[in-house]
C-alpha cells in the first residue's frame, strides 16, 4: 500500500516550518504518513511530527548526525525508505536535502524533482509543478514507473494545518551500521546571522547598487529588524564585495519565494528577477521610474531610497508595535 514519508529538518529543538508544511500536505493525501527525523533530539522532535499527522516516526538520535555528512545520512535515510516501504518522499528543497536526496534517488532508482512550488494529492497520487528556465514558465511533473517518488518543495508554498496535541505515534529508532567514511566534515563555521535563511524567510528586504556603498546596508538591516525580515542583495553588490555571496538573490545566487519581497535600489536585471518573481507581494523602491523591477512589482515607489527607507522603517515600527 502506498504511503508517504516526510523528511523533517529541525533547528533549535523545533521542526522547521517547511517540515510542518509538508506534514500538513501529506496528511491531506489520505495516505499513511510517517516522519523521518535525524540527529540528537530526534525522538522528542518526533512528537511534534505526530501532532501534525504522522502516525509513525523513524528516528536516529546518534550524535554522529549532529552535523550533516552525506555518506552517513544517505545510509540511514536509505534504511528508513526501505523500512517504511514508502512510495512518496517529501522534503524541503533545502541545502541539505538538495545534496542528499539526488544521491538516494540514484541509489534506489527513484524519480526526483526539486525546487517544486505546487503540491496537491488526487486519489493518493501527488500532483506537482515546478518552475523551469529561471521561472519563465512552470511545468507539471509526471512520474513514470513504480519507483519511489521524491519531491523537494520550496518552503513557504503550502499552508500549515493546526496541530493536534493529543496525537501520538510509534517511534522506530534506526541504528547506524559502522561505515568506512571517505567524507569527513572537519568543521562547520556558523554564519553571523541568527535570522532565517533567505530560502526560508517569510519577508526579505533586498538591496542593490542604489545603496551606493556597503555601509548603507545598515538602513536595510534596520528595516529588516522591524519586520523580522532577512536581508538579501543583488549580484552587483555581491560582486563588489559589499556583502557575502550567501546573501545573493537571483541566478548564481538563491531562489527565494517569501510572502513579501522589498527591493530597494535594485534595477531588476533578468538574472535577479529569475530568483525572486515567485514572491507573493513585491515592493520596489527605486529612483528610476523606468527600472525593470517596477514591471514585476505589486507596489512601486519612485523616490530616493535614502529618504524613503528611514520613514518607511518608522511607519512599520509604529503599526507593528
Smallest distance, Å, CB 40 to other proteins?
A: 18
* Residue 249 DSSP one-character state: B
Closest by Cα among 73, 14, 25, 21 to 47: 14
Residues numbered 264 to 293 that lie near other proteins (CB under 8 A) are: 270-271, 274, 277, 280-281, 283-284
Residue in 82, 136, 214, 218 binding other proteins, rule: CB under 8 A: 136
> What number of CA atoms fall less than 13 Å from residue 162's CA on the CB side?
2
Pairing of strands 118-122, 125-132: antiparallel
Options 51, 59, 255, 286; binder of other proteins; rule CB under 8 A? 255
Angle formed at CA 194 by CA 193 and CA 200, multiple of 5 degrees:
95
Stretch that binds other proteins, among 22-30, 56-64, 213-221, 296-304 (CB under 8 A): 296-304
Q: Does 241 participate in binding other proteins (rule CB under 8 A)? A: no
Cα–Cα distance measured from residue 303 to residue 321, given in angstroms and rounded to the nearest whole number: 26
Question: Do the Cβ atoms of 305 and 284 come closer than 8 Å?
Answer: no
How many residues form the binding site for other proteins (CB under 8 A)? 96
Written as nine digits, the cell of 166 is 493529543
- Please state the closest distance from residue 298 (CB atom) to other proteins, in A: 7
- Contact predicate 59/2, CB 8 Å: no
String marking each residue 48-87 x if it binds other proteins according to CB under 8 A: -------------------xx-xx----------------
Taking the C-alpha atoms of residue 174 and residue 164, their distance in angstroms, rounded to an integer, is 26
Q: Please, what is the minimum distance in Å from the beta carbon of residue 290 to other proteins?
A: 12
Minimum gap (Å) between residue 309 Cβ and other proteins: 9
| Residues 167-206 contacting other proteins, CB under 8 A | 182-197, 199-200, 203
Amino acid at each position: 500500500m502506498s504511503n508517504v514519508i516526510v523528511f523533517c529538518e529541525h533547528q533549535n529543538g523545533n521542526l522547521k516550518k517547511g517540515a510542518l508544511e509538508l506534514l500538513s500536505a501529506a496528511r491531506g493525501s489520505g495516505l499513511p504518513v510517517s516522519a523521518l527525523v535525524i540527529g540528537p533530539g530526534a525522538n522528542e522532535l518526533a512528537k511534534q511530527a505526530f501532532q501534525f499527522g504522522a502516525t509513525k516516526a523513524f528516528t536516529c538520535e546518534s550524535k554522529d548526525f549532529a552535523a550533516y555528512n552525506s555518506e552517513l545520512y544517505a545510509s540511514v535515510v536509505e534504511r528508513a525508505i526501505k523500512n517504511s516501504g514508502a512510495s512518496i518522499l517529501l522534503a524541503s528543497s533545502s541545502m541539505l536535502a538538495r545534496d542528499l536526496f539526488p544521491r538516494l534517488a540514484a541509489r534506489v532508482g527513484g524519480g526526483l524533482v526539486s525546487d517544486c512550488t505546487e503540491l496537491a494529492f488526487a486519489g493518493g497520487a501527488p500532483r506537482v509543478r515546478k518552475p523551469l528556465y529561471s521561472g519563465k514558465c512552470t511545468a507539471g511533473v509526471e512520474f513514470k514507473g513504480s519507483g519511489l517518488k521524491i519531491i523537494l518543495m520550496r518552503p513557504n508554498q503550502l499552508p500549515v494545518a493546526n496541530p493536534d496535541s493529543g496525537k501520538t505515534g510509534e517511534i522506530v529508532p534506526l541504528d547506524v551500521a559502522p561505515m568506512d567514511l571517505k567524507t569527513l566534515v572537519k568543521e562547520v563555521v556558523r554564519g553571523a546571522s541568527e535570522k532565517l535563511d533567505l530560502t526560508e524567510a517569510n519577508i526579505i528586504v533586498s538591496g542593490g547598487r542604489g545603496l551606493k556603498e556597503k555601509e548603507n546596508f545598515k538602513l536595510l538591516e534596520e528595516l529588516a529588524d522591524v519586520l523580522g525580515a532577512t536581508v538579501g542583495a543583488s549580484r552587483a553588490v555581491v560582486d563588489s564585495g559589499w556583502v557575502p555571496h550567501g546573501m545573493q538573490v537571483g541566478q548564481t545566487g538563491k531562489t527565494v519565494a517569501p510572502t513579501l519581497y522589498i527591493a530597494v535600489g535594485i534595477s531588476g536585471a533578468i538574472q535577479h528577477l529569475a530568483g525572486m518573481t515567485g514572491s507573493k507581494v513585491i515592493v520596489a523602491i527605486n529612483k528610476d521610474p523606468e527600472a525593470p523591477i517596477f514591471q514585476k512589482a505589486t507596489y512601486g515607489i519612485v523616490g530616493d531610497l535614502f529618504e524613503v527607507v528611514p520613514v518607511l522603517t518608522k511607519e512599520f515600527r509604529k503599526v507593528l508595535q
